[in-house]
Structure 1
Amino acid sequence: MDEKLESLLKQKGYFQTKDEFKRITYILEIFASLYPFENLDVLLEKENPITPSYITEKMLRRGRGGVCYELNALLYMVLKELGFNVYLASATVESPKTGWIIDRTHAINIYEKQGKMYVIDSGSGNNLSMAPLELDGPVVTSPAGKFRLRTKTTERGTIVSEKMGEKDWLLRYAFVPTPVGWEDFNRIKKMIHHHGESPFNKSLLIAQTLPDGTISVNDERLLRKWSDGTVKKVPFTSEEEKLNTIKKHFHPSVYEDAVKYVEQKKQQKPI
């Protein structure tokens, strides 16, 4: 077990409780605090294969975040090391604006306990339930909103993850609970990096669920939402302002690669 993660688990009281669901919730809270969703490696065209050693170096050693196949890969590693009965699966994300995104390009963890199924997901940035979602079970509330998992047949699977919108439940992703192996991370990575419809290979996105709400940064603005409904949007007037914002809110290693991304953009800009 990584020393930093073990220390944080001790602080949470992980080893003092026997409740597996509380233990998983503590893990998800720690992951949300440490590892934002961020697509800098996609934009910087880093093609390293997704392996346990790569994930360990990038996230545990360097403190970087990542996209779903990195965040949930590390989560899978930690859950397995701590003795949880989890397996990997792939889901298809649905966008309210464009419909289904590339098929099966969202990595998730599935946990089974006493005949019940749960999704454990740290790879959704500012849409984290911060607790296991039980299939056809109760609604889970986090600083990011209200979430549920239910049985529903769709074009992309028989189980759906949903989030409460302003008036109704919104589909987030659908899947079939078929186990996949580590090689599936690299299939997903290839699609996210190179597919023309990938939402993450064109512009910056850094997003995180916080104890009191959510934060996200893209090329144009900072967006901060609080759990009480307060929203603050700050447009960037320069690349320097964007970088200073990233430096203020995220790990130094995220800022370092954000600087590389901005420099890359400058070099690619037509004269």
Structure 2
Amino acid sequence: MGRKLKELLIEKEYFSAENELHRIELVQKLLAERFPFENLDVLLKVEDPVTPDFIEEKMLQNGRGGLCYELNALQHLLLSELGFNVYLASATVASGDGWATDRTHVMNLFERDGKLYVIDSGFGSNLPLQPVELDGPSVKSSAGEFRLRTCGTEKGSIVFQSRSDKGWQTRYAFFPEQVAWRDLNRIKREIHTSAQSAFNQELLIAQIFPGEIISLNEERLQIKTSKGENQRHHFLDKEEMLKHIESCFPEPVYKAAAQYVHMKKDGRKNA
């Protein structure tokens, strides 16, 4: 664990919390506030294998965020170091009336007192920010209301759902089976190279801060506040986009975004 992370956990009174699930919740909130969901390594074609050393260097040392196989890998390393017996599992994300690329979402599972929980810090801005119990009560965060249910589907026996105006919507499905760390590299390859990948087309950044959720793509910035306000700002050009990234997200993310914008410009010049 990095010294800075330990200091932040102390600030959140993690080490004085007695309940295990509450301690995990504090870790999830810390990760959400510190590490944005972002796909810049995909766009920059960074192909380094996903190893514990890679995760620690990219995120803890260099201050970047990442996608699910990086954010939840960091969560896995941190919770394991803190003494929690968590294990990695993979899921298939629901997409429209069908499914996205098979088993390309990764999260952590945790068993306690005969109950199974999903612990997910890598599902964009749709984060429950606390463990979600299988067939237990729904949980709420600033991102919405979530639950975990036993439900037979072609992609898994358990579904993670969020509530919308249309009722409960399945967000992903999975079988509660442990996957090896090397499976993260399979997921990374799929996301980097698949024509069906949602993350190799354009820039996406999202982060949950206390009081607001900020999400950005190459067309607009969106800010949802805890008071129910929803602000959207459409960019005139990529330079304006970079200015908003610089003001809203960690400096290392801004620098990677600037590299991406310049790479695209150079690509057009050489085309």
Is the pair's TM-score, using the shorter chain for normalization, greater than 0.5? yes
1:256-271 superposed matches below 5 A: 256-269=255-268
Q: Indicate conservation of the 8 Å contact 1:144/1:213, yes or no.
A: no
Distance in 1 (alpha carbons) for counterparts of 2:194 and 2:27:
32
SS in 1 for 2:117: strand
* CA deviation string 1:139-196 (max 9, x = no partner): 1100100010110111110100001112311111000011011100000000000011
Distance in 1 (alpha carbons) for counterparts of 2:67 and 2:175:
21
Shift of 1:126: 0.6
**Map of 1:176 onto structure 2:** 175
- Whether 1:41 aligns to 2:37 is no
Distance in 2 (alpha carbons) for counterparts of 1:188 and 1:227:
33
**Map of 1:88 onto structure 2:** 88
**Map of 1:200 onto structure 2:** 199
SS in 2 for 1:269: helix
Amino acid at match of 2:16: Q
- Whether 1:130 aligns to 2:100 is no
- Whether 1:5 aligns to 2:5 is yes
Distance in 2 (alpha carbons) for counterparts of 1:209 and 1:8:
16
**Map of 2:25 onto structure 1:** 25
Q: CA RMSD in A?
A: 1.0
**Map of 2:59 onto structure 1:** 59
Distance in 2 (alpha carbons) for counterparts of 1:214 and 1:152:
30
Shift of 1:18: 1.5
Distance in 2 (alpha carbons) for counterparts of 1:212 and 1:170:
24
**Map of 1:221 onto structure 2:** 220
Shift of 1:227: 2.8
Shift of 1:213: 3.2
**Map of 2:70 onto structure 1:** 70
Amino acid at match of 1:54: F
Distance in 2 (alpha carbons) for counterparts of 1:4 and 1:95:
37
**Map of 2:188 onto structure 1:** 189
1:141-160 superposed matches below 5 A: 141-160=140-159
SS in 1 for 2:91: strand
Runs of at least 5 residues in structure 2 that lack an aligned partner in the other structure: none
TM-score (norm 1): 0.97
SS in 2 for 1:169: strand
Shift of 1:17: 1.5
Distance in 2 (alpha carbons) for counterparts of 1:254 and 1:47:
18
**Map of 1:231 onto structure 2:** 230
Shift of 1:82: 0.5
Q: Indicate conservation of the 8 Å contact 1:125/1:209, yes or no.
A: no
Runs of at least 5 residues in structure 1 that lack an aligned partner in the other structure: none
Calculate percent identity across the aligned residue pairs: 53
SS in 2 for 1:7: helix
Distance in 2 (alpha carbons) for counterparts of 1:95 and 1:214:
22
**Map of 1:139 onto structure 2:** 138
